[in-house]
């Protein structure tokens, strides 16, 4: 039997507040059949990680304790398991890992080989961890659910976050007319991402600012009450689409409006396409802050309090 050294990881031992995130030694993982081991260069925080840690999604994403969180990973393959083709030790990769499996808040993580994409060559490897979950969420919401097309109008509510930043870029690149909501800290970034009009929701409530207007698509990325969400559906044009990654819209919105809920899934082929866009300079990875993985609990607290500005990358 091969004896592997231990490695540091952040682990959750029960559902609760951020204090359950314990930085400790864990066994270094070993690649099983169809898997690789990745030395983590960076991981990024997503609200999905926060919700799993808090137990909000315990029935949707049941995990075994102690659990290592974080679904996004960028790093270098150090070991290749049996029945893995196309990948070798030393390859730089990115992936959106299964939410219920041991995650990337660690020095090493196992990853299913069929979820991997080659990492972008034009950005720092750690920063590439900000792409998988948020980028795939934006793509799937826009093109699989909303079916956005050139010439359409779209309102992106919550454009200052990770998925929102990619959604603005992808929608604008697809030829849609983008209106976005964001806070003061994100206005310049959202504008540079391609939004034609930006509403500062801290200055004017969204519904008030949008009074009398309707959009072919409303992409809702902000968690709020069902009542508030239903009122946002009124901003969708007849026959349009209301797509949410958070609070669902009403099942029967009337006027021929489709309401759809996004449950992001890993998609290596689509992730590879997003990587190609990054390397081609048509999609930008915005990293607001780089922090030590040891700060993960504090970053969770900032996320819950709404104090994070864009994507935060955590480095072991």
Is residue 161 within 8 Å of residue 219, measured between CB atoms? no
Q: How confident is the model at residue 278 (pLDDT cuts 50, 70, 90)?
A: very high
CB atoms within 10 A of CB 43: 32
CB atoms within 10 A of CB 22: 13
Domain ranges in the chain are 6-130+285-315, 134-261
State the fold for domain 6-130+285-315: Quinone Oxidoreductase; Chain A, domain 1 (3.90.180)
pLDDT in tens, 38-74: 999 999 999 888 888 877 878 888 888 788 889 999 9
| Residue owning tokens 């682990």 | 11
Angle between helices 132-139 and 268-280 (to 10 degrees): 100
User: What whole-number distance in Å separates Cα of residue 265 and Cα of residue 306?
Assistant: 25
Write a three-state SS string for 164-212. HHHHHHHHHHCCCEEEEEECHHHHHHHHHCCCCEEEECCCCCHHHHCCC
For 134-261, give the CATH class: alpha beta
User: What whole-number distance in Å separates Cα of residue 269 and Cα of residue 201?
Assistant: 36
User: What whole-number distance in Å separates Cα of residue 236 and Cα of residue 218?
Assistant: 6
6-130+285-315 and 134-261 agree in CATH topology: no
* Whether residue 215 has pLDDT greater than 50: yes
Q: Between 44 and 6, where is the model more confident?
A: 44
Q: Whole-structure pTM over 0.85, yes or no?
A: yes
User: What whole-number distance in Å separates Cα of residue 102 and Cα of residue 314?
Assistant: 16
């Amino acid at each position: 039997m091969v004896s592997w050294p231990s490695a540091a990881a952040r682990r959750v031992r029960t559902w609760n507040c951020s204090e359950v995130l314990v930085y400790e030694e864990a066994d270094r993982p070993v690649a099983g059949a169809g898997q690789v081991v990745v030395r983590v260069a960076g991981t990024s925080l997503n609200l999905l990680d926060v919700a799993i840690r808090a137990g909000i999604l315990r029935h949707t994403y049941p995990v075994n304790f102690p659990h290592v969180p974080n679904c996004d990973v960028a790093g270098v393959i150090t070991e290749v398991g049996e029945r893995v083709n196309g990948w070798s030790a030393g390859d730089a990769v990115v992936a959106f890992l299964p939410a219920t499996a041991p995650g990337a808040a660690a020095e090493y993580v196992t990853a299913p080989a069929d979820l991997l994409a080659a990492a972008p060559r034009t950005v720092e490897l750690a920063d590439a961890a900000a792409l998988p979950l948020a980028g795939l969420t934006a793509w799937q919401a826009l093109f699989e659910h909303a079916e956005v097309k050139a010439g359409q109008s779209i309102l992106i509510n919550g454009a200052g976050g990770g998925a929102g930043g990619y959604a603005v870029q992808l929608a604008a690149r697809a030829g849609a007319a983008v209106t976005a909501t964001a806070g003061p800290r994100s206005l310049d970034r959202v504008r540079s991402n391609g939004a034609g009009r930006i509403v500062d929701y801290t200055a004017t409530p969204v519904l008030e600012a949008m009074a009398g207007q309707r959009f072919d698509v409303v992409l809702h990325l902000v968690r709020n009450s069902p009542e508030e969400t239903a009122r946002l559906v009124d901003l969708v044009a007849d026959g349009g689409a209301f797509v949410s990654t958070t609070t669902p819209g009403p099942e029967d919105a009337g006027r021929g409006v489709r309401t759809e809920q996004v449950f992001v899934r890993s998609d290596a082929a689509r992730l590879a396409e997003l990587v190609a866009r990054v390397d081609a300079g048509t999609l930008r990875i915005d990293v607001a802050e780089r922090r030590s993985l040891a700060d993960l609990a504090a970053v969770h607290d900032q996320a819950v309090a709404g104090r994070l500005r864009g994507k935060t990358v955590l480095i072991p």
